Structure 1
Amino acid sequence: MAESFAFEIAAKVLEKLGSAAYERISLAWGVREEFEKLKLTLAVIGAVVLDAEQQQACSQELSLWLQRFKDACYDVEDLIDEFEIQELRRQVLERSTGSKVRHFFFGSNPLAFRFMMGNKIKKANEMLDEIAANKAKFHLTPKHETNVIHRERETYSFVKTSSVIGRDEAKQHLVNFLMDPTDGEDIPVLPIVGIGGIGKTTLAQLVFNEESVKSHFELRIWVCVTEDFDVKQLMIKIIKSANGRESKDMNKEELHKALQDCLNGKRFFMVLDDVWNEDKKKWSELKDLLGGGAQGSRIIVTTRSRKVATITGTIPPYDLEHLSYENCLSLFLKLAFKEGEEKQHDNLVRIGEGIVQKCKGVALAVKTLGSLLCSTRVQHDWELVRDSELWKLKQEENDILPALKLSYDHLPWYLKQCFAFCSVFPKDFEFNPLYLISLWTANGFLQSPYENEEPKDIGNRYIQELLSRSFFQQVEDKIFTFTFKMHDLVHDLALSVAQNEVNPCNHYSTGNVRHLRFDLSKQDASQLANNLNRLQSLFLSDKEGKADSESLIAEVISRSKHLRVLGMSKCSFEQLPNNIRYLKQLRYLSLVDNGNIKRLPNSICNLQSLQTLDLGGCRGIEELPKDIRYLISLRELRVTTKQTRLQENGISCLTSLRILSFFECENLENLFEDIQNLTALRELYIYECHNLVSLPQGLKYLPTFENLSILNCEKLDLTMEELELEKEEGGSLRKLRIGGVPKLESLPRWILLGSTQTLQHLCIRKLENLCTLPTWFQHFTSLQNLYIINCPKLSCLSEGMQHLTALKRLRIGGCPKLNKRCIEETGEDWPKIAHVPDFLLW
């Protein structure tokens, strides 16, 4: 089922070559004619690639021809990148004159570069001519993407558990188990057993969120159990689910005490989702740790394995059966049509009945295909799904991969690589949109018809489309963002289509792998040092510090000259090697949670293509590189540093910066004053900077600034009385979160007042001295979400809040005085918020 991705890669390269930016570059370097020849040959071969991909399973020679074409496309992409890198170097040299700068960018002689690139383009054209000549022997015909179902409307809604059909009896069985007053000495455990995709997790979610269950238990805990049944990691997850606290740095004894504090004397309900462990000793160890709860506590386990059910269960398992045909059809129609719309499309309903029959009662298959077809009413599109050859493939009983592959085949080409790339992450990995978009951007996966569209906006659109097609599933709706994951069967699909491109395992196989994850603490590092030349993404981790990391990293860099992404989170090396400068195409570099590294080599500033630099949690870094201003492509920077002050002409010169984060900068007292130079900055995050005293005044003059988040900065003073009236309109702030700032007595007018028409999300929490909301609060006419949490001195809501008609969600908790005034119907402030449809008070 592996895909070649030749069509997708060729389309991406052709789009680049045809862009206005590369038109300018080809004219500037006098290579327009050579570029045009590349485009023409690529287009000629690309026209028959879809036919070749469909026939390659029957011909090894054709498969090899496709591989050669794909490799040639990657080579052309590398070639194009070199022109872009040279253009970036030219921009740096224009900004800063002097022999030191010219020496810093050695090897930038334009005549030598033109000669070298002329030869490379010539070789690329010769290679493509040879591939084009060889295609004649395969008798291929031009084809276009005819089976792609394009969405006619954007959808941002997710299928919620309220949409579950046909599980009422199963739900009641589980609720009865949870409410049963009889108890033995042991905590009762009920396993739910069923095949993958049948709806075990959805059923557990349905019960978990049942109102009667919520009120019956003092504590509800949800833990997704990975295939690696690590008791310490499970304790960390249980504690986080129970009280929201991170405990990753605790040892086992400390975790045990924290876990007992969470459970002590409380009646809890715990779901352990997707359990694979068949080692009874490990299960007994975990079970013993959960004995501190009150009588009436219950555990539900979901699993595909009957052996797991036997080991974990204290009562017979609940066998979740396939959905009936009638229920499958109801679910399909609910997803494929708006309410009542199916009555207008009898022809499509008949076709849908045939599709549902082939799904064999598996909810995930029904859900995926229903989501796929919801955006088209073209009969031919529906017939393509029903009559696909994929249904005829030999498959194991209960195998739903053909249904999922069918949905994958209907993705637009630009989404296929994005989806397949996600298989480099382990099963049950929780994605953060910002993180995934940064990786997609670095690999050049994001395509837009608009030249100046922001990558974050393109990436968010891709994520929403994959969510709407059920390739992603939303896990948690957080205050200003959300997390999502892939169902493990969808992950299997991604891995199956990407197997020639992606290797997520702890071994490295030679060949054409482009994206690799490698755990140095689990595998011999010597296996990494061969054949890395084709790699574009490399994720290394070494949680246990077993590897000789510094020499290994130097070796990896010397053999991976085309890397776009280098992730080295939780590695323990003390120095990043100087040869990092040779990764000219590197766009993403992460050193997250490396506590040993003290400084970065200044040669890192030679990486003009670098777009993301993540130093979060690198608590040993003494100062940032002195020439950081030369990273002119940097769009996202996350910093942890011991500095008390940041150097002048440093970060403030990074005019491409969109996202800037300061995380655990314990000594930092001030940010740079000339922050207004960052005219493209959209987001600023400041967390755990305990000595930070003030924010720069220029913050309010940023023209595209949308998101400000400040947490746990005890010394921060946000008052600027003399500036309050200077600018009262024209702001662009959309999201503001402030918490753990004890000096704050009123909301910072100088930050907020200019954005009364744009602010959509506001969260204020742990503001122990906040007494009142301002009178001008009623002017936030675009406000949609408001969270007021743990503000004990806040006594009332401001007047006029009833005029905030856009307000859809309101949360108030841990504010004793305010809570009393907001009690439904009887509270004094209730009339101000009675119009809010989603209100929660605790």
Structure 2
Amino acid sequence: MSLPAVAWGISVAGWIMSPIISKLLDKVLSHCKSNKAETLRHLLTDVLPRLTLTLEAAEAINHSKLFEAMVRGLKSAFYDMEDILDELEYIRHQKMLDGQNSSKSKKKKKRLRITSDVEAGPSNQDICIEPSLTLTGPLNARLKDSMAKIEELIVKAQGIIALAESSSKGKTVTAKNIHTRTTSAPVELVTGRDEDRDRITRMLRDTEYDNSRSSNNKCFSVIGIYGISGSGKTTLAQYVCKHEEDENYFDFVIWIHVSQNYSVGDVFKEMYEAASVDKNKACPEYNSLDVLEKELEKKLKDKRFLLVLDDIWCNKDVGQQQLPKLLSPMKAGKRGSKILATSRNKDAFSDLGPGVACNVFPIRDLDDQAFLELFMYYALGSTNPDDSGEMELRSIGAKIAQKLKRSPLAARTVGGQLRKQQSNVEFWKITRDRDLLDETTGALLWSYQQLDEQIRRCFSYIIIFPRRHSLDRNELVKLWVAEGFIQTANPEEDPEVVGQCYFDELLATSFMQPEELKWGVPCYLVHDLMYDLAEKVAGNDCFRFEKGQRRQVPCDVRHIFVANGEMATEEIFKLKNLRTLIIHDQNWSESANEVFLQKVFEKLLKLRVLVVDYEKKNTDMGTLEIPESIGHLKHLRHLSLKVPGYCKLILPGTLNNLYHLQALILESLSGLKFPSDMGKLSNLRHISMRCSGKTLPNIGRLTSLQTLEYFEVRNEHGHEIKQMRDLNKLQGDLRILGLGNVKSKNEAQEANLAAKTRLTGLQLVWFGGTTSPEVEAEVLEGLCPPGGLKSLEIRGYKGSEYPSWMVGVQNGGPKYLNTLYLEKCYQLGPSPELFDCFIHLRELSILDSCWDYLPDNVKDLRCLKRLRFYSCLNIKSLPELPLSLEDFTAYWCDRGFTESCKQVDHPNWQKLQHVKKCSFFPL
């Protein structure tokens, strides 16, 4: 039995019983004739559950070839059903639009509905909708074919199940997690962890953090280490434990291996024994847990302890969480006590209870040299490195180590096997040429099984991207939604919100890990071990065309990534069932032209995701005109077109026919040309455009919009500020340009910004326009943002007054603003009322404005971290600054002020000594 086979079986079993398939079958069931419905019910309630159990059983893999063919057929049939229902919804949408166009005066639009065959008429039709939309022709024939295929596969599945069940004789062996109890004793050699140990030791001595974060009744704080299975969390904790026992800073050190299933009473007994003077004396038997707890409190009273909780688990059922109970006796200890915990899941530390100060960080990968040293220790031990035979083994071992992805668990397991064969060079060579990560990946497979099926599917999709590819959280969630991987229980619930929760769980369980910021945006990576696991569970669904690789494309592939546009060959156009095509190329190639796109639009009609991304920006390619045949992609939900250099992008009017479109991402430095009216795209939720001065016309009808990076007000039809009125699902950041074209307060109020409660950032930009300062003041008054706004930027405003919502005169406006940025607001002076209203400010920036002093009440801003002034402030009037300030930056018009600030005895300079970063730059 191979690990890939087991992984495939578990993955397919989960997919078959996923909510996505259940919902699809339920939907089809309601529209089928009685005999067809009975067949599907049998599939849903009997055959599929039995098939799931069989696939999860290791013995069933003996028949994996039979299963693979059967499952491939099932997937194809399910995908066809999904496409048929998708096309049916497309027809419904088209009819609805036709009805709107033919009868504008109707107050209530008639909703088309699917009916059963009893209501629809002829008995030879399996699925019908209202008489004007009866399914006939190719669509109905496809549905019948899918149903017939499923019936045939059900019979085949029953035969395979019977064969598998008879051969397995009731035994079920799946990839399991074997919990090995740990102790505080570290392994003989710990390498590459000195820096981590010293960091934790410093945190163990830190009492200032405890006093600032813990509630009064907590004498301890928590340090949490999390990471994937086998990454070295326990070894690091043991290393710290040994160091602390030698240092004698704590009265005693208690080591507890918690794991997933534990008894509170048993843990209390272990703590009691560890806290006893006589370590060999067993804990007395107490019939009452309450009595045992009180006795343990006596042991801990006024003692400064270090409690290590190894391998704690996150319990999603809040009612079943026992970790707070586990820590209950700890309150008797001396302030300054610490708890060091390890977990595979970052969220587990929050289960320790409210009011517990917790400092959490992921365990770092070992560097290559430290890992090689660790591996050689397990493989060769303390032998003579000058021995000629050993030198050969070390040379081979170095190549083996490179294949182990810096996994300490793999170093221990593979190295242990090699150590038994130190005299067998051939064994080492054979090992060098094998896939060595099965055992490590097997441990991770158990963690994968603990995820919900929909999260598993989202995770396995990640392998469409190359290894070590930087992932953008928001973009990835949009792709998951477009692919239909996310199903919500409530129709009103945003799938993006659910998708963000899925992403957070993958991050918390270390299936993903954060990377350094890329252009100021957080990015994420998938650890190589996790990537290997994803490849094993994904099967043939995803395929990549990568540079230097040529593999045969599976016929049932659904998602393709092309790393070089020139590799997008005719082979792709044969994949009629392809759902995803992502072309991500650093150079412009001949593939990105109208001819290539024409083939995509005509051949790959089932695409749901199309991404064409060319990163080379310094090329002028003139114009790229998207063919009108893009309107054939009736299933398309995610369209991203990023063209290089100064190539102008022209979109055809048929773009309006993409009724399912949810995300439109466009990038063209030379500009865009849009269709005149995109109001038909009522499912559009995200618009992202990086282009030269273009905005969508008539966006007011796109009431599902959640993302709109900017909107420019113009004196043109379709670009008025009233277009914003009903876009109340907008979230994140919004930039409104051209506010000089708004003529009155009433006109500004039509934007209805206060109703956009999910906005977190707002930029109001006035540059341009011919309105007077008095009118601009009225307009700003009318642009009152929602109360939950976190960031506000005002640029180019010529009014001399602050609106009432900025100085607390009226009840509306943001109350918890973190960032305030004013640029080229030449008539706006300093106002003490600002700091009375925005008491939660963390960052204040004033650029090219007439602030000649800073109000005294700035010292009351206890959250202020960053203060920036550019060519607008006289240093001599600097008041007392808040102690929370960490960064003070100023540009001065007069060089003399800067020179005086360099004098140590300057009184205002003395006031800045608590600032961690202080910079003065003369202009």
* TM over 0.5, shorter chain: yes
Q: 1:65 aligns with which of 44, 67, 70?
A: 70
1:401 maps to 2:441: yes
1:127 is matched with which residue?
149
2:650 is matched with which residue?
599
2:450 is matched with which residue?
410
- Return the letter of the residue paired with 2:658: L
| Contact map agreement 2:640 2:664 (CA 8 A) in 1 | yes
2:259 is matched with which residue?
348
- Return the letter of the residue paired with 1:738: E
| Contact map agreement 1:332 1:367 (CA 8 A) in 2 | no
- Return the letter of the residue paired with 2:149: M
1:779 is matched with which residue?
837
Q: 1:734 aligns with which of 782, 789, 793?
A: 789
Aligned pair in 2 of structure 1 residues 329, 409: CA closer, same or farther (>3 Å)? farther
Aligned pair in 2 of structure 1 residues 551, 517: CA closer, same or farther (>3 Å)? same
Aligned pair in 2 of structure 1 residues 558, 13: CA closer, same or farther (>3 Å)? same
2:91 is matched with which residue?
86
Cα offsets for 1:485-509 (capped at 9, x unmatched): 2234433333343241112333571
Q: 1:698 aligns with which of 750, 771, 775?
A: 750
2:216 is matched with which residue?
none
Looking at structure 1, the residues matched to 723 and 877 of structure 2 have their Cα atoms a distance apart, in angstroms, of 43
1:810 is matched with which residue?
865
- Return the letter of the residue paired with 2:48: G
| Contact map agreement 1:810 1:840 (CA 8 A) in 2 | no
1:138 maps to 2:138: no
Report how far residue 462 of structure 1 moved: 1.4
Report how far residue 813 of structure 1 moved: 3.6
TM-score by length of 1: 0.62
2:115 is matched with which residue?
none
Aligned pair in 2 of structure 1 residues 374, 545: CA closer, same or farther (>3 Å)? same
Looking at structure 1, the residues matched to 517 and 97 of structure 2 have their Cα atoms a distance apart, in angstroms, of 42
| Contact map agreement 1:705 1:732 (CA 8 A) in 2 | no
Report how far residue 36 of structure 1 moved: 7.6
Partner SS state of residue 561, structure 2: strand
| Contact map agreement 2:653 2:675 (CA 8 A) in 1 | yes
Instruction: For structure 2, list consecutive stretches of 5 or more residues without a partner in the other structure.
Output: 105-128, 178-189, 204-229, 243-249, 263-307, 313-340, 353-408, 418-433, 616-620, 889-913
Aligned pair in 2 of structure 1 residues 488, 326: CA closer, same or farther (>3 Å)? closer
Report how far residue 431 of structure 1 moved: 2.5
2:271 is matched with which residue?
none
- Return the letter of the residue paired with 1:51: T
Looking at structure 2, the residues matched to 146 and 494 of structure 1 have their Cα atoms a distance apart, in angstroms, of 17
- Return the letter of the residue paired with 2:789: R
1:585 is matched with which residue?
635
1:369 is matched with which residue?
344
Aligned pair in 2 of structure 1 residues 797, 593: CA closer, same or farther (>3 Å)? farther
Cα offsets for 1:780-822 (capped at 9, x unmatched): 46x47535375675556667667767x4x63224557779699
Report how far residue 428 of structure 1 moved: 3.5
Looking at structure 1, the residues matched to 531 and 876 of structure 2 have their Cα atoms a distance apart, in angstroms, of 49
Looking at structure 1, the residues matched to 171 and 866 of structure 2 have their Cα atoms a distance apart, in angstroms, of 54
Overall identity of the aligned pairs, in %: 20
Looking at structure 2, the residues matched to 678 and 66 of structure 1 have their Cα atoms a distance apart, in angstroms, of 44
TM-score by length of 2: 0.57
1:505 is matched with which residue?
545
Q: 2:136 aligns with which of 115, 120, 141?
A: 115
Aligned pair in 2 of structure 1 residues 37, 607: CA closer, same or farther (>3 Å)? farther
Partner SS state of residue 569, structure 1: strand
| Contact map agreement 1:813 1:819 (CA 8 A) in 2 | no
Report how far residue 464 of structure 1 moved: 1.4
- Return the letter of the residue paired with 1:680: K
Aligned pair in 2 of structure 1 residues 146, 742: CA closer, same or farther (>3 Å)? farther
Residue pairs, 1:8-47, within 5 angstroms:
8-10=14-16, 11-17=18-24, 38=40, 41-47=43-49
Report how far residue 635 of structure 1 moved: 0.7
| Contact map agreement 2:256 2:309 (CA 8 A) in 1 | no
Aligned pair in 2 of structure 1 residues 428, 542: CA closer, same or farther (>3 Å)? closer
Report how far residue 680 of structure 1 moved: 2.7
Report how far residue 354 of structure 1 moved: 11
Looking at structure 1, the residues matched to 467 and 715 of structure 2 have their Cα atoms a distance apart, in angstroms, of 38
Cα offsets for 1:264-306 (capped at 9, x unmatched): xxxxxxxxxxxxxxxxxxxxxxxxxxxxxxxxxxxxxxxxxxx
Looking at structure 1, the residues matched to 631 and 241 of structure 2 have their Cα atoms a distance apart, in angstroms, of 53
Looking at structure 2, the residues matched to 146 and 323 of structure 1 have their Cα atoms a distance apart, in angstroms, of 25
2:662 is matched with which residue?
611
Looking at structure 1, the residues matched to 81 and 172 of structure 2 have their Cα atoms a distance apart, in angstroms, of 22
| Contact map agreement 1:34 1:121 (CA 8 A) in 2 | no
Residue pairs, 1:513-524, within 5 angstroms:
513-523=557-567
Looking at structure 2, the residues matched to 512 and 83 of structure 1 have their Cα atoms a distance apart, in angstroms, of 24
Partner SS state of residue 634, structure 2: coil
Report how far residue 53 of structure 1 moved: 4.7
| Contact map agreement 1:811 1:839 (CA 8 A) in 2 | no
Cα offsets for 1:1-39 (capped at 9, x unmatched): 3636434444243453488xx59xx87x78799668645
Instruction: For structure 1, list consecutive stretches of 5 or more residues without a partner in the other structure.
Output: 100-107, 150-164, 174-201, 207-320, 334-338, 357-365, 378-386
**Bigger radius of gyration, 1 or 2?**
2
Looking at structure 2, the residues matched to 776 and 761 of structure 1 have their Cα atoms a distance apart, in angstroms, of 12
How many aligned residue pairs are there?
638
1:829 is matched with which residue?
881
1:383 is matched with which residue?
none
Looking at structure 2, the residues matched to 172 and 744 of structure 1 have their Cα atoms a distance apart, in angstroms, of 57
Residue pairs, 1:211-226, within 5 angstroms:
none
1:634 maps to 2:545: no
- Return the letter of the residue paired with 2:705: L
Higher strand share: 2
| Contact map agreement 1:148 1:410 (CA 8 A) in 2 | no
2:760 is matched with which residue?
707
Looking at structure 1, the residues matched to 682 and 488 of structure 2 have their Cα atoms a distance apart, in angstroms, of 22
1:327 maps to 2:382: no
Looking at structure 1, the residues matched to 41 and 687 of structure 2 have their Cα atoms a distance apart, in angstroms, of 35
| Contact map agreement 2:788 2:814 (CA 8 A) in 1 | no
| Contact map agreement 1:705 1:733 (CA 8 A) in 2 | yes
| Contact map agreement 2:345 2:510 (CA 8 A) in 1 | no
